[in-house]
Amino acid sequence: MTREPRRVALLGSTGSIGRNTLEVIAASGGRFQVVGLTAHSRLERLEDQAARYRPAWIVATREGSAATHGWRRLPEGIDVHEGGEAVASLVSGSDVDIVVAAIVGSAGLRGAWAALAAGKRVALANKETLVMAGPLVMDLARRSGGTLIPVDSEHSAVFQALQAGRRADVRRVVLTASGGPFRARTRDEMERATVADALEHPTWNMGKKITVDSATMMNKALEIIEARWLFDLEPEQISVVVHPQSVVHSMVEFRDGSVMAQMSPPDMRLPIQYALTYPERWEGPAHRMDFATAQRLDFEPPDLDRFPALELGYSVARSGGTAGAVLNAANEAAVEQFLNGRLPFARIVPTCRDVLRHHAFEATPDLETLERLDQWARGEVVRWMGK
């Protein structure tokens, strides 16, 4: 039996998740077809991808960038669009089955939102979408008939492990964390951490923003919030355990004490592919477990003193409302300041906490309010940085 290929729009194709997604598609033997690609910078890379995967359209999301780029390597017959609005209209098209949301940061919200509103399957790498607007996004998916399948490895693991039992029998989920490059560092060493130190991740090769988030463990804080909304869990039902090998990607504990874990070597191509093929499982390019050589799996509780981001994550997961959008934006801005050498590593999390504390909390905000607060929080980071 031959089947029509699944038609994929890939938002953020030039990034780490974007390139891994294209590897999965390349290995699929034509069972996926790329219909659209978007990128914000590195447009030569976008052109090369377009030449290889032949989408119907591409989008250069940075305003003004499409007009000034030469597009000398772009084959004939590919439509070039520009700006965030183009992303929203293209993901809704009838030629798209699945949208991979792999833009980094709150800039990823609009495309994921438009795709869900159009009833598409969204393979969600952009956790910021759920951190900012979890309740609104889940409600949109329910109303529109769109589906949200997690790409984040922990949430993919939970999504897979949940299939072993009934939802009502779930006691808690346990998110694993590699612990990042500073897992075994002292507080003093962390105070002096440079940008290069923070970008030295032990197990995953990812974009800069999420790599710094792993060093502060803000990434795990964002993932607690992501899990709360995606799986409709109380914050008390979400635990975090440090697991330096990044082989157990997360676990679900059921009522009777049975714990289901999902294991595979650290390789994002597996959770990406599962989000694309679900409920099927296909052969794919991801690395496999090798039990012929000695292996060990370690688990240890996280150090809440050295990683204060975790407590902040729980508190924002409990508050809900506008807190997620403010934390997310403050963190994005603080990480950018750190990467530019203007904010010490140890000030990233306290700065986020200060901004959160000073925002006008609302319990049931709309999307416009969240986007306004996103802008506000970025400005506040500059104000609190020096204090």
Stretch that binds ligand NAD, among 99-107, 113-121, 142-150, 374-382 (CB under 6 A): 99-107
> Residues 7, 9, 14, 177: which binds ligand NAD (CB under 6 A)?
14
> Residues 25, 35, 50, 102: which binds ligand NAD (CB under 6 A)?
102
> Residues 16, 216, 264, 273: which binds ligand NAD (CB under 6 A)?
16
Closest by Cα among 159, 327, 310, 335 to 230 = 159
Min dist CB 54 to ligand NAD, Å, is: 19
Nearer to ligand NAD (CB atom), residue 10 or residue 78: 10
Residue 257 forms beta bridges with which residues?
none
Q: Could you say whether residue 41 binds ligand NAD (CB under 6 A)?
A: yes
Burial of 265 (0-12, 13-18, 19+ CB in 10 A): middle
Min dist CB 292 to ligand NAD, Å, is: 27
Choose from ligand NAD, Mg ion, none: what does 285 bind? Cβ within 5-8 Å by kind: none
What single letter denotes the amino acid at residue 291? F
* Sheet with strand 170-177: strands edge to edge: 238-242, 170-177, 248-254, 259-263
Q: Could you say whether residue 128 binds Mg ion (CB under 5 A)?
A: no
Rounded to the nearest 10 degrees, the angle between the axes of helix 367-385 and helix 348-357 is 130
Q: Could you say whether residue 58 binds ligand NAD (CB under 6 A)?
A: no
Nearer to ligand NAD (CB atom), residue 120 or residue 155: 155
Dihedral pair phi/psi, residue 9, rounded to 5°: -105, 130
Q: Could you say whether residue 18 binds ligand NAD (CB under 6 A)?
A: yes
> What's the CA dihedral at 62, 65, 71, 73 to 10 degrees?
-50
Q: Could you say whether residue 178 binds ligand NAD (CB under 6 A)?
A: no
Dihedral pair phi/psi, residue 370, rounded to 5°: -65, -40
Nearer to Mg ion (CB atom), residue 153 or residue 264: 153
Instruction: Tell me the C-alpha distance between 68 and 41, whole Å.
Output: 12
Min dist CB 187 to ligand NAD, Å, is: 26
Segment 210 to 229, residues that bind ligand NAD, using CB under 6 A: 210
